[in-house]
Structures are given as C-alpha cells and as structure tokens.
Amino acid sequence: MIRLFSLIALACWAGTVGLTPLKAQEEQTLRVGLQALPPSLFNPYRNTGLPYVYTWSAVFDGLTSIDANGVLQPWLATSWERIDPLTWVFELRDDVTFSNGKPMTARAVVAAVEFLTSDDAKSETVARMLRFLDSARVIGPHTVEIKTNRPTPLLPRFLPQLYVVEPDYFAAVGLEEFAQAPIATGPFMVEDIRPERMTLRAFKNAWRPAKVSRMELLSLPEMSTRTMSIRAGSLDVAVGIGPDEVNAIVADGGHKYSWRDAAIWAYHFIDGGHPAFADIRVREALNLAVDRQTIIDVLLDGASTPATQPAPELVYGFNPDLPPIPYNPDRARALLEEAGYSNGFKMIVEATAGSSANDSAVNLTVAQYLAAIGVEMEIRTVNVNQIIRNVVEGTWDVDAFGLHYNFEPSVEALRALDTNSCLWHHPWYCRDAVMPLIAQAERELDPAKNLKLRQDVMAFYRNDWASLFMYQSTRFAGSTASVDGVEVVNNFILYDQITMDPR
C-alpha cells in the first residue's frame, strides 16, 4: 500500500512540472533530462563546454575522437599524416552521408576550415581554439590537406571539435538559420526546437545509426527534478545528477552510470585577490589542509581520484612523477605561521551549486577543513553563467573561485592553459616564467620532447601551487530499467549506443 501511494504521488508530482508518463506507443522516444539546452541552439562552433556538448553530440561529428583512456582515435577521418611542420593530409570515411542525403566529402572539411578561418567566425569559441588553422584544400574525394599557420604537432587531437556540416546548405542559409535546423552526420536530425525541449528523430542512413527512433532533450535545471522525473516514469535518462540521486534511482530498479571527465576540479586563487595568496607558502598550506580522499569517498561515492596537478591521468602531458598531495593540517598551520598568518585570514570564494556532483556539500566541507587551520572561507553561491561571465570579462570581486581545469576535447595538457595562464585576456593566474615553456611545448615536433615539455608545465603549476587542486571531475547519470548503453566519453554522449526495451 505504501509503495502504491508513493507511485501515485510521484505520478501526480510529474504532472506539476509539465511532464507526462511515457505511453506504450512512445516507448521508442528516448527522453533525456539535461541541466540546460544551448542558447545558441545547434551552432556547433559557439562553445565546447557542458552541458551544451551533450546536445550537439546527437547531431554532429568531428574528424577525430579521444577515447576514455585519452587515446586519439579515428572518427570521420580514418587516418592522417604530417607532411611537413605546417601540412597534414587526412583520409576520410567514404560511407558517410549528411542528413539531407548528400555524401560527405573532402569539400565539406574544406568548407568548415574556411568558415573557421574567416572574419565571420571571429566570435566563435571553436575558431579561437583552432586559431592555428590556416587553410584546407581538396586532394581527392575523401582526401583533404589542412595547413596550419604554425607548427601544431598535436593537430589531430584538436579536431574532435571540428564538426563537419553540409557545406551547400550552410552556405545558403548562414550560421543563424543553420543553428535552428542543422544538417550534419550524427545519428539524429532536429525535428522541433522549443525553449525547454528539443525533439529529434533518428537519421536512418547515419554511419552510426541510432537504436531508438526519436529523442527528446529536455532542459530541467534542478537536479531533484531530473531525478524525480526518472522515478515518476516521465523521463528515461537523467544526466548530471549526484551519487545520492542516482542511488535512489537504482533503488527503484533503474540503472546507474558514472564517468570521469578530462578535467580537474579546483579552487583558483585570483592574482590581486587576497594578499596572502602572493605567498607560495599560503597556497601550499591550503592544499595540505584538505583531505581529498575522504571527500571523494563520502561525497562522490568513491568514484574519483585526488588531483596531483591540473591534469588527470588520461591527459596527454600528465606528469606521473608528481607525488600525491598529503593531508597534513599540522604542516599547513606551520606554513601559515611562517608566512605571517598564524591567526589565519578570511577569503571569499565564488562557487556553484547544482552544476556538478554534490558541489554544494564539497564547498562546505572544504570550508570546514580550512577553518581547522584558521582560514575562514566564505562561499558566495553563483550560477555557472556568472562564473563564465567573470572568466570572460575579468569582473572578479572575490579572492578565489571554483572551476574545472578542463582539457576537453583535445585531452592534452595545454588545453586548459588557454585560460589558466597569461594567454587569457583577463588572466587570474599569470606567471611569466612558465610562458616560454608553454610556447615551446606547443611547437615541439619531436614526440618525446613534446610530451616531456608538457609534463614540465604540469610540474610548474603543481610546484607553484597555482590552485587548490581537488580531484578528477566525476559525473553521474541514471536511467529507468528499460534503458541501457548510456556512455559518455570526454563530454560526448554516444546516443547511437543507447537502447530501450520495446516491451
């Protein structure tokens, strides 16, 4: 009787948020709940971050991909060769068609490169990240030459974000109209776009065809809403929930999924923020004050690993010689005393709530650890958009902030340093001493030297205690019992692998 009452209550609750339980005839419509849908709709070059890539991975494909172990893999491109320091040749799949039926050829790649190097793309994030692109030309129907304007020895690692779109349609309608009705090579086609819901249907002739016929992507910002919608049967997959929420779904008979991003969660000290941060002993003390493993075990279901540097282990350039950061509050207090802060100090930190697994609880726990060494951490909760705005505009009025060192989609050690260094137009961490090393690592053609240079950069950040390094970013998702095959690799959801029980 109690169980029956709970189910009735959940069903009634679902109606209050405008969702209805799945009907039998809709069993092949996969309903996926996300934190948000992209404001730029299906403009594939506007952003590379979450949660927007969760949407775009249903429709777009890049030239290459990086697997869960950080290894470069073929995707639309099957092979590649560097001809000279500035020239690469890529062979493409010959069995791929766009969702309007036209074949994908080398001309489409050339068109994408021409757009990204044009004045029209100056405001697009992907164009800035691929600023080393110079030109492209057709060598054969499925062979394309790409030139860079400087040596880029890891070029193929950057090309998961070079999404290939149907060139004639793109040229005819322009980016704004294309974003509302895209034509690309992914497993789904866009059917309808509304403010909080996107409806897609399977592209039957896709080179990686979907196993479900239709899909709805729903914007449900509250983690609790996504979780309860699964339990009520009005949602099939909930992405971006916490371990407690996913375990509740499992208790109802659903499935649990977790994965680790190519990212490290950290609290970033702002140059010019609290004067204490100018002393390396203070930055080290804050790192020694936090018990990362306990936070992982208690708040993240044991699903992550403590950080030793800005990069997690799967990133190309991770330095395996850097030791774990010990939990040593006594040493932390001694360092603060040496630095002249025996009575501690107060720091103000901006951090989000609900954007990653148990982030509010993590923030409060870190504050408790710092309080134990005399440092008061005041948490100002803001949304992700505010953090991003401050990053872009440099409008900080706090001492530190919580944000990932994000190495996706290239999964190499310099990726996150576009922002976390003097390279950024409004840097919060800028050390002139490391910049020549970064520049050399970008251009070094010898593979062994290239890897070593990136590892040296990681050692510099660790030894300078650039941030309060925490742990590898871990994500959770849950689904109903009828769903299987949910897999996310470096933010790319493999929608073509998801199945639904037709019963």
Domain 2-59+186-254+480-500: homologous superfamily in CATH: Periplasmic binding protein-like II (3.40.190.10)
Total-model pTM: 0.88
pLDDT at site 15: 42
Q: What is the mean pLDDT of residues 107-116?
A: 98
Cα(339)–Cα(325) distance, integer angstroms: 20
30-86 tens-digit pLDDT: 999 998 899 899 999 998 888 889 999 999 999 999 999 999 999 999 999 999 999
Cα–Cα distance measured from residue 50 to residue 39, given in angstroms and rounded to the nearest whole number: 12
Residue 98: what pLDDT? 98
13-27, 59-73, 390-404: the lowest-pLDDT one: 13-27
| Own/partner pairs, 99-103, CB within 8 angstroms, 24+ separation | 99/166, 99/183, 99/184, 99/185, 99/186, 99/189, 99/203, 99/206, 100/166, 100/169, 100/183, 101/205, 102/166, 102/168
Question: CB within 8 A of 395, min separation 6: which ones?
Answer: 389
Whether the predicted pLDDT of 501 surpasses 80: yes
Percent over 90 (pLDDT), the chain: 83
Q: Any bridge partners for residue 264, and if so which?
A: 405, 472
Instruction: Return mean pLDDT, the chain.
Output: 92
pLDDT of 20 strictly over 50? no
Q: What digits encode the pLDDT tens for the residues 189-205?
A: 999 999 999 999 999 99
Residues 503 and 496: their CA atoms lie apart, in Å, by 20
CATH class in words for 64-173:
alpha beta
Binned at pLDDT 50, 70 and 90, residue 384 comes out as: confident
Two tokens at 32?
């996926």
Is it the case that residue 341 has pLDDT exceeding 60? yes
Tell me the backbone φ, ψ of residue 472, rounded to 5 degrees: -70, 135
Alpha carbon distance 252, 230 (integer Å) = 10
Q: Which residues of 308-335 are buried (b: 16+ CB within 10 A; e: fewer)?
A: bbbbbebbbbbbeebeebebebeebbbb
List the single range of 240-244, 387-391, 461-465, 491-495 with lowest mean pLDDT: 387-391
pLDDT confidence of residue 486: 95
User: How many CB atoms lie under 10 A from the CB of residue 186?
Assistant: 23
Residue 9: pLDDT over 60:
no
Q: Work out the average pLDDT over 413-433.
A: 94
Lookup: tokens for 378 = 């005041």
How confident is the model at residue 74, as a pLDDT?
Answer: 98
For the chain, the structural domain boundaries read 2-59+186-254+480-500, 64-173, 261-474
What's the token pair of residue 287?
């790192």
Task: Region of 411 please: left (phi>0), alpha (psi -120 to 50) or beta.
Answer: left
C-alpha separations of 235 from 32, 38, 217, 478 in Å: 6, 20, 10, 10
CATH number of 261-474: 3.10.105.10
**What is the predicted pLDDT for the residue at 8?**
35
